[in-house]
Amino acid sequence: MDVPEGRTGIVTGSAVPYEFFITKGKGESPYQVHAGSYHRAMADAGIELGNLVAYTSILPPIAKEIPAREGIRRIGHGDRVMLIQAVSHVEKGVTSPRRTAGILFGWLYKGGIRQGGLVCEEYRFETPEETKENLEGCLKDVYVLPSRHRKSFEQRGFELKDKRFIYETVAPEKNMELLWSDWCSSAILPQY
């Protein structure tokens, strides 16, 4: 492992993801959601061999994106895969005719130095436009609302830049699920 920039020696403390990749997948199954369409969506995203563990929506400052092919190659049978995901379960004839799942994330900068990232995920809307509009509002809320510091990122002088939107839209023919990853299915952001 490369030692993160600005650090030397052995890095100790909480486990901090330092690499991530973006992938997405979708899957249909005539049987059930979890063992059927969800597994097929994970396979479509290339992460079906891992045990997925959900993270919330904060990216550490040292996180760097690697190619999806490289991240997927590293997942061994039964490995724990930490991820941020937007997942939508869509049942033909029960929910709207189509559904979009998406992730929007951006990086916080202060003094020109990247300090970490914020991520929001959504899966309820039909169109990418509705999904992105909702996520823009959510990301703004996280940016402008006070945190444990009693001030918001905005009030503390951080700039939110380099935003990316990843999504997938489906119109099911069977029961299906969207799996997103930006830090692992649209979108998944798997992290290491």
Tell if the pTM clears 0.95, that is, is over it: no
Domains of the chain, each with CATH number or no CATH:
19-191 (3.50.20.10)
pLDDT at 36: 72
The Cβ of residue 44 has, within 10 Å, a number of other Cβ atoms equal to 18
pLDDT at 2: 63
pLDDT in tens, 136-190: 999 999 999 998 878 999 999 999 999 999 988 877 665 545 543 322 234 455 5
pLDDT at 174: 56
pLDDT at 183: 28
User: Hey, what amino acid is at 116?
Assistant: G
Residue 118, C-beta contacts closer than 8 angstroms, at least 6 positions apart: 57, 58, 59, 105, 106, 108, 139, 142, 143, 153, 160
**Among 178, 140, 145, CA closest to 41:** 178
Alpha-carbon distance of 165 to 132, in angstroms, equals: 7
pLDDT in tens, 53-96: 888 888 888 888 999 999 999 999 999 988 888 887 766 666 56
